[in-house]
């Protein structure tokens, strides 16, 4: 293990949120050395702990949602409805570097944790606020999950389906984790600005805006007056070389030959069909578009003759751009992912060899923190309070009043 300081060593982050968008920013920061203090309500704590029990998520003996988003964090249970509990949080805010939240503005105002008040306590604080639908307009306090504000509202849910098919329901939190990276980048930029100018600021991002950004090309086309993208089926794709194909073993892959004039010859070699080069129907791009249905039919027959493993070897050898349509349950054994540390082993009591998903970027010379299991509710209350200057007697008094647990 390297003893070189990490980029975020000494940075204190208060995670005052729930579910994913905002708390996952803290998860990424923890990988690079930040101290993350998770604020939870006494008793059951953050309801996100138990999301894995909600259908249609698959059942497990592990609270896997919590494991992923709350690794490396310290949990302190504070009753923010009590004046003593609120005073504890305000004292922590005065000494923190980053305040992360995704509570609606109305809730933050009710708790007196809105930015206007918090900045009076600590003007060096980076106040990072994740929202569903933005900072303005009639929907600022509307609850927003990624399924609603990112996937549905952005147009993605309507667009990502074959013609005539029902809209596809998203995988859990896929928009949250994607949006997390933009909010992480903004928070880091604000920290950098603070280093230069000495003052903190407020950083915001919404699931709605991130969803539209993810749908950016189609959205820009619409803004430029282009007609809507046309839903289609595999057999009706307008480009046979940008399409999905099924192999003999019922495994599918995506062909993405966007530079087809350059790659067409190598592709015909990869599928052992050099005769297609001499076929007038497919002699150039315009002819391949004119006879697209015929070409799709030919390729369907070709790929159905062998298993995907065979075609993967052939296409890789000839430089064809493709991607296997992987199944989530297989990815832990993916050799390319193993080679790139996409998954990392959790450490500490209860880990028992469990893997978790690594944050998706690396910085040369920086060794990430070895991930530890997500905490129990209030597991670190005494430790955290002591680190903020509370004596043992003061901590016990706070417990007796119900301010902390």
CA-CA distance, 88 to 292, in Å (whole number)?
67
Extract the runs of DSSP E, i.e. beta strands, from 4-50: 12-15, 35-40
Q: Which residue has the tokens 């966007």?
A: 258
3-class SS of residue 14: strand
Average pLDDT, the chain: 96
Tens of pLDDT, residue by residue over 163-172, are 889 998 999 9
261 and 345 inside one domain: no
40 vs 28: CA distance, rounded Å = 19
Final residue of a domain: which of 294, 324, 354? 324
Query: Mean pLDDT, to the nearest integer, of 260-283?
Result: 96
For residue 99, report the phi and psi dihedrals to the nearest 5 degrees. Answer: -115, 115
In sequence order, what E strands does 41-108 have? 74-77, 98-101
Structure tokens at 174: 């896929």
2: pLDDT confidence band, cut at 50, 70 and 90? Answer: low
pLDDT band at residue 3 using 50, 70 and 90 as cut-offs: confident
Q: Do both 319 and 345 map to the same domain?
A: no
For residue 229, being part of any structural domain is answered with: no
Q: 358, 338 in Cβ contact below 8 A?
A: no
- Tell me the two tokens of residue 376: 């129990």
Indicate if 204 and 353 belong to the same structural domain: yes
| Residue 361 and residue 293 in one domain | no
What's the chain's length in residues?
A: 405
Which of 292, 324, 356 is the last residue before a domain boundary?
324
Q: With CA atoms as reference, report the closest residue to 240 among 200, 268, 217, 213.
A: 268
CATH number at residue 174: 3.40.50.10540
pLDDT of residue 231: 86
Q: Say if 318 falls within a structural domain.
A: yes
Domain assignment present for residue 370? The answer is: yes
pTM: 0.94
Domain assignment present for residue 226? The answer is no
Give the mean pLDDT of 116-121: 97
* Phi, psi dihedrals of residue 403, rounded to the nearest 5°: -70, -35
Per-residue pLDDT tens digits for 51-90: 999 999 999 999 999 999 999 999 999 999 999 999 999 9
Angle at Cα 217 formed by Cα 25 and Cα 223, nearest 5°? 115
What's the whole-number mean pLDDT along residues 176-194? 98
Residue 348 falls within a domain, yes or no?
yes
Q: Which domain holds residue 18?
A: 12-214+340-401
* Cis status of the peptide bond prior to 147, with omega within 30 of 0: no
Q: Is residue 330 included in any domain, yes or no? A: no
- Is the same domain home to 33 and 160? yes
CB distance 89 to 79 below 8 Å? no
Give Dmax (Cα) for the chain: 88
The domain tally of the chain equals: 2
The pLDDT value recorded for residue 303 is 98
Q: Where is 305: in which H helix or E strand?
A: none
261 in a structural domain: yes
Last residue of a domain, one of 300, 324, 348: 324
| Shared-domain flag, residues 51 and 178 | yes
203 and 79 share one domain:
yes
Neighbouring residues of 84: CB distance < 8 A, sequence distance ≥ 6: 398, 401, 403
Same domain, 359 and 317: no
Contact 204, 197 (CB under 8 A): no
Q: How far apart are CA 405 and CA 395, in angstroms?
A: 9
What is the percent of the chain with per-residue pLDDT over 70, rounded to a whole number? 100
- 162 and 49, same structural domain? yes
User: Do both 210 and 357 map to the same domain?
Assistant: yes
Q: Which residues of 189-216 are buried (b: 16+ CB within 10 A; e: fewer)?
A: ebbeebeeeeebbbbebbbbbbbbebbe
State the average pLDDT over residues 206-211. 98
What pLDDT does 404 receive? Answer: 98
The rounded distance, in Å, linking the Cα atoms of 400 and 394 is: 10
CA torsion, ordered 52, 53, 56, 57, to nearest 10 deg: 20
pLDDT tens by residue, 214-250: 999 999 999 999 999 888 999 999 999 999 999 999 9
């Amino acid at each position: 293990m390297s003893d070189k300081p990490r980029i975020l060593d000494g940075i204190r982050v208060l995670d005052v949120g729930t579910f994913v968008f905002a708390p996952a920013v803290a998860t990424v920061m923890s990988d690079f050395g930040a101290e993350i203090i998770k604020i939870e309500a006494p008793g059951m704590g953050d309801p996100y702990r138990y999301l894995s029990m909600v259908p249609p998520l698959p059942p497990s003996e592990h609270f896997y949602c919590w494991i992923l988003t709350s690794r490396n964090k310290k949990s302190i249970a504070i009753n923010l409805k009590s004046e003593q509990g609120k005073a504890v949080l305000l004292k922590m805010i005065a000494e923190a570097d980053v305040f992360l939240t995704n509570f609606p503005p109305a809730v933050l105002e009710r708790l007196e944790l809105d930015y206007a008040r918090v900045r009076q306590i600590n003007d060096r604080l980076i106040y990072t606020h994740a929202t569903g639908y933005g900072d303005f307009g009639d929907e600022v306090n509307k609850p927003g999950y990624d399924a609603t504000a990112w996937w549905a509202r952005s147009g993605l849910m309507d667009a990502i389906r074959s013609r005539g098919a029902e809209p596809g329901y998203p995988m859990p939190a896929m928009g949250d984790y994607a949006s997390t990276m933009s909010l992480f980048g903004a928070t880091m930029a604000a920290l950098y600005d603070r280093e230069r100018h000495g003052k903190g600021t407020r950083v915001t991002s919404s699931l709605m805006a991130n969803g539209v950004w993810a749908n950016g090309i189609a959205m820009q086309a619409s803004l430029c007056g282009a007609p809507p993208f046309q839903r289609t089926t595999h057999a009706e794709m307008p480009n046979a070389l940008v399409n999905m194909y099924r192999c003999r073993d019922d495994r599918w892959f995506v062909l993405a030959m966007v530079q087809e004039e350059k790659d067409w010859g190598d592709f015909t070699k990869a599928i052992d069909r050099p005769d297609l080069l001499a076929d007038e129907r497919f002699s150039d791009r315009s002819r391949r578009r004119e006879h697209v249905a015929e070409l799709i039919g030919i390729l369907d027959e070709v790929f159905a003759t062998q298993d995907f493993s065979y075609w993967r070897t052939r296409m890789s050898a000839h430089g064809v751009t493709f991607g296997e349509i992987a199944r989530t349950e297989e990815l832990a054994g993916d050799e390319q992912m193993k080679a790139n540390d996409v998954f990392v082993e959790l450490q500490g009591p209860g880990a028992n060899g469990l893997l978790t998903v690594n944050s998706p970027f690396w910085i040369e010379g920086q060794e990430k923190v070895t991930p530890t299991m997500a905490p129990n509710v209030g597991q670190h209350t005494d430790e955290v309070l002591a680190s903020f200057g509370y004596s043992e007697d003061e901590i016990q008094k706070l417990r007796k009043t119900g301010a902390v647990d």
